[in-house]
Structure 1
């Protein structure tokens, strides 16, 4: 016959032991997810399909201006996050951040291409013609020519911006 004390020992052994350090690391990771999510505008947070009480806590956070009150609200958000599965939220945050990084890389690529076109780089012009079958070469050359004139005469860079937009539109198809 098994005594009550022996049953308690078996239950304790079957539960996974988690050190204080590990608990603290988990809590910090959850808090980080909460902070990352708080960096988004409330309209984006609404698209995350969060539980109602968590969404409400973030909406309240948007209206708080005092530092200490914000800190307490973030503590409350952390408490709510500890009670739910945060992996879908973390995955969505990473997805959005990777999308922003890709957009920035595309933006920088187009800026470099524009600069090369302005500097009469024949390879850049050939790249645009080969890569984008929809390109209107006459319009492209006109934009490049107008941009050079604006830079030369130190006028507002209207064509410079139009050239970037044209390249972006070609990129987006």
Structure 2
């Protein structure tokens, strides 16, 4: 009898003790990952290689319109996620978000470059010529000139959009 009690103590010590608070924090973190994943379109969610049952739950979630029903479905998805290795999902979410941030940064860079060209910044023109050796300088100057004219006449900025597209084409190579 005493040996049974000692054996039970050894088993308890060898198992990792997790407090209720820690379990709750982990559960909340998994729930947040589930919610982040739910914010993606269903076509993107399919690329995450989720178990079929979990993917089906996300597909159903995207069809639900009522708030309370969505909340309950998210709770259930969170429960299912606790049984799945969450690290590959978390890594994929970060990868996608970093890609979106990079695209946004490129977009803002091109917008600033376009504005500097329109303002007649000589350094911006030199930078474009240096960065993009295959640039059609005549086309670039024409787009800048047309944009300035449209701004002066307060017309729709068609040329400004064309200038941005041209810069984006140069950036993409």
Per-residue displacement from partner, 1:111-130 (whole Å, max 9, x unpaired)? Answer: 00000000000000000000
How far did residue 2 of structure 1 move? 7.2
Q: Return the TM-score normalized by structure 2.
A: 0.97
Q: Distance in 2 between matches of 1:63 and 1:128?
A: 47
Say what the alpha-carbon RMSD is for the aligned residues.
1.1
Q: 1:162 is matched with which residue?
A: 162
Q: What is the 5 A alignment of 1:21-100?
A: 21-100=21-100
Q: 1:5 is matched with which residue?
A: 5
How far did residue 134 of structure 1 move? 1.2
Any stretches of 5+ residues in structure 2 without a counterpart? Answer: none
How far did residue 3 of structure 1 move? 2.8
Paired residue secondary structure (1:62): helix
Q: Distance in 2 between matches of 1:53 and 1:142?
A: 57
The size of the alignment, in residue pairs, is: 173
Q: Return the TM-score normalized by structure 1.
A: 0.97
Q: Distance in 2 between matches of 1:80 and 1:2?
A: 41
Q: Distance in 2 between matches of 1:114 and 1:20?
A: 55
Q: Distance in 2 between matches of 1:59 and 1:103?
A: 27
How far did residue 11 of structure 1 move? 0.9
Q: 2:148 is matched with which residue?
A: 148
Q: Distance in 2 between matches of 1:60 and 1:6?
A: 50
How far did residue 5 of structure 1 move? 2.5
Paired residue secondary structure (1:3): helix
Q: 1:108 is matched with which residue?
A: 108
Query: Could you list the runs of 4 or more consecutive aligned residues of structure 1 that deviate by over 6 angstroms after TM superposition?
Result: none
Q: 2:172 is matched with which residue?
A: 172
Q: Distance in 1 between matches of 2:152 and 2:111?
A: 19
Q: Distance in 1 between matches of 2:133 and 2:164?
A: 17
How far did residue 49 of structure 1 move? 0.6
Question: Is 2:16 the partner of 1:20?
Answer: no
